[in-house]
Amino acid sequence: MSFRTLPIRAGGAGASTVSCPFEISSKSDPNNESRFIYTFRPGTAAGFVPSNIFAEFSASKTGIIYAKIKALSDGKKITSCTLVVDSNHPTNQIPLANSLPASVEILLYLIKDGVQYRAIGCSSISIYGHEQYKLTKTPPAGAGELTYTPYYIWRFD
């Protein structure tokens, strides 16, 4: 069996379009002309489909809006996620000693005056724990203990 590669040109009739997980679309809000309604194409984060993936999100047509995923954790693994569209910058992570943070927010889009800027690649999102740094224990560790305290954050790609 042999395969041939067919070149595909961008643009023009018959052009191929790629749809990405979490791709956002917008339309004017029929109930409020100063707002857009945003919807998302399905995708997964840490293997979870956000619980509100088919929701519609209303946001101002002006200013800066953040579209993000908020993932919740039990301190060891991600347990659920939701989509959030609001004017609040994603929360910065603070490394925790001996445990992963209870949640992480991942920026999907920055929207400025209705113009959408995608902040992630064209794939679903992997979320995993990462040891950010370690501090030497004082007083020194006892027998069988780690000689340091590990601090963790969530990483994603």
Interval 86-145: pLDDT, tens: 999 999 999 999 999 999 999 999 999 999 999 999 999 999 999 999 999 888 888 889
Between 10 and 89, the more confident residue is 89
Region label for 75, one of left (φ > 0), alpha (ψ between -120 and 50) or beta (otherwise):
left
Q: What would the mean pLDDT of 10-19 be, rounded to a whole number?
A: 58
Tens of pLDDT, residue by residue over 43-90, are 999 999 999 999 999 999 999 999 999 999 999 999 999 999 999 999
What are the sequence ranges of the domains in the chain? 24-156
pLDDT at 14 over 60: no
147, 153, 154, 157: CA torsion to nearest 10: -90
Neighbours of 36 (CB within 10 A): 21
Nearest in space to 120 (alpha carbons), one of 102, 107, 135, 111: 107
31 residue type, one letter: N
Query: What is residue 16's predicted lDDT score, i.e. its pLDDT?
Result: 53
Judged against a pLDDT cut of 80, whether residue 9 lies above it is answered with no
Q: Write down the pTM of the prediction.
A: 0.84
SS3 at position 89: coil
Pull the structure tokens for residue 75: 């301190």
pLDDT at 18: 79
Residues 6+ apart with CB under 8 A from 49: 42, 43
Contacts with 10 (C-beta within 8 Å, 6 or more apart), sequence order: none
Lowest mean per-residue pLDDT among 9-23, 87-101, 140-154: 9-23
Quick check: 6 pLDDT over 50?
A: no
CA 137 to chain centre: 34
- 29-49 residue pLDDT tens: 999 999 999 999 999 999 999
Q: How confident is the model at residue 11 (pLDDT cuts 50, 70, 90)?
A: very low
